[in-house]
Structure 1
Amino acid sequence: MARTPLSAVHEGLGAKMSPFGGFLMPIQYAGILDEHRAVRSAAGMFDLSHMGQFVATGEGVPEWLDRLTVNAVGTMKPGQARYNIFTNERGGAMDDAIIYRLDGRWLVVVNAANSEKMWRWLSSQVPAGVTLTDRTPQSALIAIQGPRSLELLQPLTDVGLANIKYYHATEGVVAGAHAEIARTGYTGEDGFELFVSADAAQELWQTLTREGARVGLRPAGLGARDVLRLEAGMPLYGHELEEDITPLQAGLDIFVKLEKPAFVGRDALVRQRTQNDFDRIVGLVMDGRAPARAGYAVWRGQERVGEIRSGSPAPALGGKNIATALVRADASAIGTTLDVEIRGQRHRGAVVPLPFYKRAR
């Protein structure tokens, strides 16, 4: 089992550790509810060093990536970040990623569970004039998320963080460590992600912990992160996205640029959008206290119409149970009443718009 540059720190904090994406990762420290509360009200700090980090250089990088993804890459300006999805010939998602255009290079950040798969795929597709490097083993990624993130970080850097727009990035020094600083995240809150060398990770984490005490910073694990992203309606690969679920099915139409002349899976996505009879991801709010979990059957009357993909109590919604489900098109309309089979019993839920939670601007 692989370890991140911060694994020893997590163990020293008494974190509950568990395998995730081939790494031993912190699932929780003080508890998921406390960590969730910190992110929604102040700030939380996450170790995301398990995620794959690939660097591409060469003049042909944007054209190459445009042929492999659904969103536009060639229109990105220096300093921009953009959510994107790599698709197969059937239009299914091979992985979702964030692509950053930095000074003289492109950074592609992929999910840990798909890192090896995506490295093999991308390496097999590299054209002449493009160089691809896997820098994951030499790197660390620390995310600070929450409404007080900027207040915490600004005294530690000369970079004007308020000038970094959402889904943009720059470079600078944070608490003595050279970092790529991105205003991105996976929680539904404002925040920053700091890409640093593996050697700098522990000292940076300790400095952030010490300085963060004044704003209520808490270390947060993947358990809280999963609840936060679900409330924010963000997909998790293997749940709302996978090789057999397309971006259109996942409700990510805004990121699918079918006007691009050609990319892997485009023809399949054009057909799917034209037919418009595909199963799709919806949000559900449950009536009762029983949580809907991934794999549970979804019913409309006596007809099974889908299955749960993710589910959890949602602290941001007063503890209501929320879920995503992949259901038939004719069962996907907002307001539709559906039943989820939980331990042999039917529990009522209603289809609602995503996201479940949106922060005040």
Structure 2
Amino acid sequence: MSNGSLKARLAREIALTGPMTMADYVTRCLHDPSGGYYATRPDLGEAGDFITAPLISQMFGELIGLWAVEVWHRLGAPERVRLVEIGPGDGTLMADALRAARLAPDFLSATELILIEPSRPLREVQARRLGETDTPPRWVSSLEAIDRDAPVILIANEVLDCMPARQFVRTETGWTERRVGVSDDGDLMFGLTAISGGFVRPMFEVQPGELIEVSEQQAAFGRDLARLVAETSGAALLIDYGRDRPGPGDTLQALRRHARVDPLDTPGLADVTQWADFPAVLEAAVQAGADVTGCVGQGEFLRRLGIDTRAERLMSARPDAAPAIRRQLDRLTADDQMGALFKAAAIFSPRSLDVPGFEP
């Protein structure tokens, strides 16, 4: 089936089985085998539907690479280490990271590169970009497939926002769930349904009419990362746009050609996301036995890693590119661009590990 048929298939399915949770709807939009966005047509970059930090500037991936090297040193420079990236996109971040890591050849010699990527089209792009690097990758299907016999340094940039959340609305008479239904004319629509059970009321204040998001996938991801680093030692770096404190708010959005579109209009043809819920992820990680850092804005995190110095060196080497480099720096770090909305946090073990970029 073509991408264009996904909307019709979802409408037929909902008509037969009832309204679909927001989490299930977003999952189908992204990963439906024959019509999902990532399964069939992910389109990244300036000419695509959205752009990520590694595609804005080489500085981002380079600094993440040096971050990984420093974590390795602080772990005692073990003879074997697994460098893992989840959702590597087109491979740009890891290619830049490995290039920067050439400053530490012992690190590269110790490293096994593992990628976790559900999208077949993106795996093919990653293979072309990374297959000839100093550390060619191998792909695994999940965190559970990673052996526990060596420390792990893990990177997850803009991964949480692809893990959808259910949405609940407080009304004057109680809590309901926002789901995707079908209108009388057969089009997709939002609606409220009664809650049948399993809903845990939030610990923060929610007024009638306000909406909260609860992502079981994000919390499970936090638990899985915690178990991995607790069993192996190491650190998992999470960078994403989202909230650093609990609270209400509808964050569902769809992007096509860098413009917001109705999430119900073109399922499978747009990138559909929701905010990362850092408090829930980090709380789940602590409960699973790992330690966590607090959240730091992406701008502050990159500055702590030395992005200003790196930008100055690039501009000195390429004066003709200085205006573009300044724009890239601003886009990555300015509070009114990616610097504040995007945040960084780490899950780590042992407790004595001082994670770079999060020092007190």
Higher percent of residues as helix = 2
State the TM-score, normalized to the length of structure 1.
0.27
The higher-RCO structure (CA 8 Å, 6+ apart) is 2
